[in-house]
Amino acid sequence: CVIPCLCRSTLVLFHTCHFMLVSFHACVAPRLCCSTLVSFHACVVLCLCRSTLVSFNACVVPRLCCSILAISCLCRSMLV
């Protein structure tokens, strides 16, 4: 999920995404990162939320996600 486009378009980075403390689904699901064309930073925020055990619903709500992580600048870049 560090590189959303590659995460989506090739299987090579599957293990990379998996070991970045993100589930496989978090990396490739269209509504989370890769195929929605959200910014790089937005994808990073989602991955961080997943790795901190925040619920799925919290992760896709930008304000809640970012307030928990205290990264407001990245919150603004999220389009989901």
**In the chain, what are the domain boundaries?**
4-76
Residue range 31-54: mean pLDDT, rounded: 41
Predicted TM-score (pTM) of this structure: 0.18
The encoded tokens of residue 49 equal: 């939320």
Instruction: Report pLDDT for 20.
Output: 38
Helix axes 40-51, 62-69, angle to 10 degrees: 70
Average pLDDT score, the chain: 42
- Find the angle CA(44)-CA(18)-CA(22) to the nearest 5 degrees: 40
Handedness of CA 18, 20, 21, 25 (dihedral sign): negative
